[in-house]
Structure 1
Amino acid sequence: MGEIIIRFSDWIWGTPLLILLMGGGFLMFVYSGFIPFRRLGHAIKVVRGKYDDPEASGDITSRQALSSAIAATVGLGNISGVALAIGTGGPGAIFWMWVSAFVGMATKFFTCTLAIMYRGRDSSGHIQGGPMYVIEEGMGKKWKFLSIIFCVAGIMGLLAIFQANQLTDVLRVVIFRPLGLDYGQPTRWAIGIVVMLLVALVILGGIKRIAAVASRLVPFMVSMYFVCVFIILFKNLGEVPGMLLYILEDAFTGQAVLGGAVGQVIVIGARRAAFSNEAGIGTAPMVHGASKNNEPVREGLIAMLGPFIDTIVVCTLTALVIMVTGVWKSGERDGVLLTLSAFEQGLPGIGKYLLMFAVLIFALSTMFTYSYYGHKCFNYLFGADKADYYNYFYLLTIVGGAVTSLHVVMSFVDGMYAIMAFPTMISALYLAPKVKAATKSYFERMKE
């Protein structure tokens, strides 16, 4: 079964999906008038709360929406995903993650603007947002099959199995193994069950509790991670310029993979960027669609900050740490263990414990937000009165992720993300003129 999942993931991440994600994102980048560059300052003012309207419909503030979305994206995708990209595609894969991030900023602007523009109501009459409602409300009932495809893939792909797997690996290596308490699968089962109970304490409280916890954890965990990374990079400051040049060089030679297969490096970079910042996948529009904001363009501007923070900033810093410490040449393919080696070498004695703490916070915050995404997909398919049943399924799969191999887990998530991307990108491109018109109207009103 595991081999089938791996082959399916490799097959679906072929040229058509790459063209849709990166090509479609580039089209939106140009069509928007390069809005990620031109309106970045205004987006920062918006996220600081300058234009918040407490009377607007929705469940959470725009800042909480961004915090929840970043809690899902700034996480193990930055710690493990970057290491996986370097381990399988070489440093050149990081360049293609950068490219994906810049076009992803435009993609998130369009998809999250549409999430407010075309909000729908669930079976209980509650306002909801996300690609499934954008498709049904914006494109019409005849396209509803795309909404169903998105939600089915979302229920399966937005499980916290990758986070559970990598958190389990770190705890085993840093805590249990030195104490002689690592008994293989029994230890994995025990860790998985404990993590499941911790996640249950938060997610069973709904989106408001998830957003409240995420908005407190995200700034703290990002700050702590940055301090550790900057210390390591400062200690190896002379190596940084050379490593950045090596990333650029390797991006167009692909020497680190398949004897120079540049195309493969691009695919690896795009896959890891999609997993890290989720632009074009459709997850962020679900949480941004719940924000208290009646200005669709304003929400889109907030959302586009996500890929910049996640990939351009955090992923780059992680990549540089792995490269300046030299551990990327070790041949290690398990993402989190490669980053763990870098921290251990960069901060001897305490590095592995600091990273373990970061992984714990990153993993838990991502697990909280992913449960909300899957809950919304389940709600759309089966009704609001049955949606809470999804949480129990979600919690059980955390244990499954803890005891399954990394390759199978990563391939399964990649495959489901790919399926989700098709409805999300098709709807965004189809409705792009609506976003363009709304953007023009918004900035004309702002001038007045």
Structure 2
Amino acid sequence: MKALEDFLVAFSDAAWGMPLLILLMGGGFYFMFYSGFLPFRYLGHAVNVIRGRYDDPNDPGDINHFEALSSALAATVGMGNISGVAVAIAIGGPGVLFWMWVSAFVGMATKFFTCSLSVMYRGRDSNGHIEGGPMYVVLHGLGQKWKPLAVFFSVAGLFGTLPIFTSNQLTQVIREVVLVPNGVATDNAFAWNLGIGVALVIITSLVIFGGIKRIGHVASRMVPSMVVLYMLAVLYIMAVNYTSIPAAFALIFTDAFTANSVLGGAVGAIIIAGARRASFSNEAGIGTADMMHGAARTDEPIREGVVAMLGPLIDTIVVCTLTGLAIIVTGTWMDPDKNGVSITAHAFDSAMPTIGNYVLVLCVLIFAFTSLFSYSYYGTKCFSFLFGAKYKHYYNYFYVMTIIFGATASVTAVLALIDGMYAMMAIPTMVSGLLLSPKVKAAAKDYFKRMKAFEEGLKEREAKKV
């Protein structure tokens, strides 16, 4: 088992080298400047879209704009925001948070382009059902000669979207925060982890075997409440430690360019750590969320691209920042005996003695289950592309069984596997996005021109009524 863990860590570290950093962050800066910051000027329009102002039930697709964003956030706003940020700060110091912000900002532009393409170049599976995602973008946008790249994405997606990290961290928080402090599960950790894993399999199966419509329905109701609850909890921690907030921000900015806290001046390493954790958190450039947005009920690719752009803003700029600040102001990131979600749990407990751990557990349960529900959809789409839609339900059996593996394996092994596969998925997603970016830019100019004319005409009609 140790040999497998070492292999996965070596694979992950090699995958997340400077070439991938240039592709993800360099590509994101390219999208941002190439578009002339165009999508950033229409955040208000994105809000109107998810409010349903432009919904048309006759448009192609499975779920509305709000459900598409909620389902994508259900996957991204998860354990990566709670334990992933803790891991990043423990490894790279507080300065990692700054580079996560940078990565998220350029990631907004990346998602605008790649998710617009997922609607623009939707294809059909072997059952004739409309599907979207990087594999279809490659196939229909770049052509059949690029099919190996689409296959490469789908193979990586089968493993990159597994629930093993989520089940690992959820199991850890249930055992260490709820059971052990109450005198339960103090012996035979493996057996207890196995039992928790089996319970997670049963609960997850009840939702994911209902398909994307049930996932979208559940996610659209759980995501808003989970974000609000978590925000309120962390804002309370900020209030309790308000005197430490200025020093925390100062440490974030100074450490971002010195890496003195942990990495001894290796600024390149801290940038990679920030980009790595931001990509794991908001998935910009990875291609998973593109598959969810590709299922949106719309015939306007740019409209869904603008909606998708809100993902990194909510996920990383808001939720990850809250987690990072809670960990930094309480100083729990410096505890060598804590790892993963335990660091965040310690921060909650230090600010809210007795109840803090249970508040976090509630947040973790919601975050984790929405991730477990949503990631299965991504895997089935990859499986369907490779082997045919009539066989895609078989992937869900494999998916739920790996929940048990995640619950019983080490956090180092599962995180390395997911990180490595995310890196592999980013290559087809970013390459196709960069090559097809002129198509998105042209479509964006046309779309916003039409929307401007539509809004002006609407105002004129309302003025005549008055």
Q: What is the TM-score with the length of structure 2 in the denominator? A: 0.95
For residues 206-239 of structure 1, give each alpha carbon's deviation from its aligned partner in whole angstroms, at most 9, with x where no partner exists: 0000010111110111111111111111111222
Aligned-partner residue type, residue 133 of structure 1: Y
Distance in 1 (alpha carbons) for counterparts of 2:52 and 2:102: 29
Contact 2:93-2:263 at 8 Å conserved across structures: no
1:151 aligns with 2:138: no
The one of 186, 191, 214 equivalent to 1:209 is 214
Q: Which residue of 2 aligns with 1:105?
A: 108
For residues 253-280 of structure 1, give each alpha carbon's deviation from its aligned partner in whole angstroms, at most 9, with x where no partner exists: 0112332111110010010000000000
1:281 aligns with 2:286: yes
Distance in 1 (alpha carbons) for counterparts of 2:129 and 2:219: 23
1:117 aligns with 2:115: no
1:356 aligns with 2:361: yes
- Stretches (4+) displaced over 3 A: none
1:443 aligns with 2:448: yes
Distance in 2 (alpha carbons) for counterparts of 1:175 and 1:329: 23
The one of 140, 144, 156 equivalent to 1:141 is 144
Higher mean Cα deviation, 381-390 or 322-331? 322-331
Equivalences, count: 448
Q: Which has the larger radius of gyration?
A: 2
Gapped regions of structure 1 (runs ≥ 5): none
Q: How does 1:299-378 map to 2 (within 5 A)?
A: 299-332=304-337, 334-378=339-383
Distance in 1 (alpha carbons) for counterparts of 2:220 and 2:252: 33
1:157 positional shift: 1.0
For residues 121-151 of structure 1, give each alpha carbon's deviation from its aligned partner in whole angstroms, at most 9, with x where no partner exists: 0000000000000000000000000100000
The one of 32, 45, 50 equivalent to 2:35 is 32
1:37 positional shift: 2.8
Contact 2:177-2:345 at 8 Å conserved across structures: no
Distance in 2 (alpha carbons) for counterparts of 1:212 and 1:247: 38
For residues 4-44 of structure 1, give each alpha carbon's deviation from its aligned partner in whole angstroms, at most 9, with x where no partner exists: 11001001100100000000111001111113431212111
Q: How does 1:44-443 map to 2 (within 5 A)?
A: 44-182=47-185, 183-332=188-337, 334-443=339-448
1:78 positional shift: 0.7
Contact 2:24-2:285 at 8 Å conserved across structures: yes
The sequence identity of aligned pairs, in percent, is 59
Cα separation, partners in 2 of 1:109 and 1:91, compared to 1, 3 Å: same
Contact 2:258-2:264 at 8 Å conserved across structures: no
**What SS does structure 2 have at the residue aligned with 1:33?**
coil
Contact 2:263-2:270 at 8 Å conserved across structures: no
Distance in 1 (alpha carbons) for counterparts of 2:239 and 2:412: 33
Aligned-partner residue type, residue 211 of structure 1: G
Contact 1:93-1:266 at 8 Å conserved across structures: yes
Distance in 2 (alpha carbons) for counterparts of 1:236 and 1:60: 42
Contact 1:110-1:428 at 8 Å conserved across structures: yes
**What SS does structure 1 have at the residue aligned with 2:390?**
coil
Contact 2:75-2:372 at 8 Å conserved across structures: yes
For residues 62-108 of structure 1, give each alpha carbon's deviation from its aligned partner in whole angstroms, at most 9, with x where no partner exists: 11000000000111111011101100000000000000000000000
1:13 aligns with 2:16: yes
1:333 positional shift: 5.4
Distance in 1 (alpha carbons) for counterparts of 2:91 and 2:212: 36
Contact 1:84-1:335 at 8 Å conserved across structures: yes
Distance in 2 (alpha carbons) for counterparts of 1:165 and 1:78: 14
Cα separation, partners in 2 of 1:179 and 1:235, compared to 1, 3 Å: closer
- Please report the RMSD computed on the Cα atoms of aligned residues, expressed in angstroms: 0.9
Distance in 2 (alpha carbons) for counterparts of 1:192 and 1:257: 34
Gapped regions of structure 2 (runs ≥ 5): 454-466
Distance in 1 (alpha carbons) for counterparts of 2:147 and 2:337: 44
**What SS does structure 2 have at the residue aligned with 1:39?**
helix
**What SS does structure 1 have at the residue aligned with 2:353?**
coil
